[in-house]
Structure 1
Amino acid sequence: MTQENDAPRGFSRRGLLSAFAATTLVAAPTFSNAAGFLRGAGDIRRLKMYNGRTGEHMDTIYWIEGSYIKDALKEINSFMRDWRRNEVKTIDTRTIDIMAASHNLMNTNEPYTLLSGYRSPKTNAMLRSRSGGVAKNSLHLKGQAADLRLGSRSIHQMAKAAKSCQAGGVGTYRGSNFVHMDCGAVRAWNG
């Protein structure tokens, strides 16, 4: 279940808010004529992704001025579904925020390539049987993790941006060229 207001152990709300504040400074020149935005009146969070397995594209604003947009979150949930089984799960907004803040910090318009979002227990078991790098109790099972790639940024750059949020786990997978981001305990690893 999505927790929008509670900050569980290992989740630094201050770290995540600092990351969004930093992205606001990056975005400020673009909106230099929008005095309301510079006073905090234009708090907007956006997520852009592409899924090579399904061919789907998504570009949605999911947060405006302190409120999540329910229809946009439904779109994200559907996009991040287990495409192998076509099963949808609510994606934790903390993970969505980490993904969006990291993307903004990298100052790119390129959408993330989503490799894995939610995984059903059957999909996770199947992937686990094929690879030692898949956790039995993966946060993907809870809708709290995403495996992402950007063509215009290295996995080192992606991981650095995600780590700067100080809000969850960041795994760097050099061999497969992707970064895992989740809203679990603050930690980092190399796969």
Structure 2
Amino acid sequence: MTTTTSFTRRGLLGAFAATTVAAAPTYSNAFGLLRGAGDYRRIKMYSGRTGESIDTIYWIEGEYIKEAAKEINYFMRDWRQDKSTNMDLRTVDIAAAAHRLMDTDEPYMLLSGYRTPQTNAMLRSRSGGVAKKSLHMKGQANDLRLNSRSVGQIFKAAKSCGAGGVGKYSRSNFVHMDCGIVRSWGS
């Protein structure tokens, strides 16, 4: 496991800027070009468990959209317990930035978003890879996959955002993204 600094807004904004202005050699140049340029953030996902999908713009020019956040909260709920929480939208920001870097229209498949303590305990009893104090229980993590991209490609895109934790689970074919401290793990 590699540990560095904590999640920074500037780092994540830089990832978004780098994805929309690929020619910008530095983040500071990209920030200048994006100012007032109609910047937005969009997330596209589907759930194989519930059959639901979401494709929403949830942030426009520095403001999260409350209605979109409510949709995200419901979509990323613990489907086993049918309970939701207020997702930390920084986690969605990381997923959206990584998605932009991969330049794909395919929606993520959401494997796990919010987890109740009961669901987390059940999953933990079945697998050694589930943390006792998982950020999923705080609405600060998600596990995602794309059919058109390898786990390695998703991992590299998420890690390049320089925000939060990124875990590569090659055998299970998914990438974990969270808005905790910047770190990475997996094989």
TM-score by length of 2: 0.89
How do 1:1-191 and structure 2 match up within 5 A?
10-26=6-22, 40-190=36-186
The amino acid of 1:109's aligned partner reads D
SS at match of 2:114: coil
In the aligned structure 1, how far is the partner of 2:186 from the partner of 2:62?
A: 34
CA deviation after TM superposition for structure 1 residue 93, in Å: 1.2
In the aligned structure 2, how far is the partner of 1:40 from the partner of 1:139?
A: 34
CA deviation after TM superposition for structure 1 residue 13, in Å: 2.0
In the aligned structure 2, how far is the partner of 1:180 from the partner of 1:68?
A: 23
SS at match of 2:50: coil
Aligned length: 175
RMSD of Structure 2 on Structure 1 (CA): 1.8
Q: Is the 8 A contact 1:15 1:164 kept in 2?
A: no
The amino acid of 1:16's aligned partner reads L
Deviations 1:129-154 (A, max 9, x none): 00000000000000000000000011
In the aligned structure 2, how far is the partner of 1:25 from the partner of 1:153?
A: 22
Question: Residue 73 and residue 48 in structure 1: after superposition, are their counterparts in 2 closer, same or farther (change >3 A)?
Answer: same
Deviations 1:68-112 (A, max 9, x none): 100000000000000000001011011011111111011000000
Q: Percent identity over the alignment?
A: 72
Deviations 1:36-86 (A, max 9, x none): x96633111000000000000110000111111000000000000000000
The amino acid of 1:129's aligned partner reads S
Question: Residue 109 and residue 42 in structure 1: after superposition, are their counterparts in 2 closer, same or farther (change >3 A)?
Answer: same
SS at match of 1:94: helix
Question: Residue 38 and residue 134 in structure 1: after superposition, are their counterparts in 2 closer, same or farther (change >3 A)?
Answer: closer
The equivalent residue for 2:29 is none
TM-score by length of 1: 0.88
Q: Is the 8 A contact 2:17 2:34 kept in 1?
A: no
The amino acid of 2:119's aligned partner reads T
Q: Structure 2: which 5+ residue stretches go unaligned? A: 23-32
Q: Structure 1: which 5+ residue stretches go unaligned? A: 1-8, 27-36
The amino acid of 2:8's aligned partner reads S
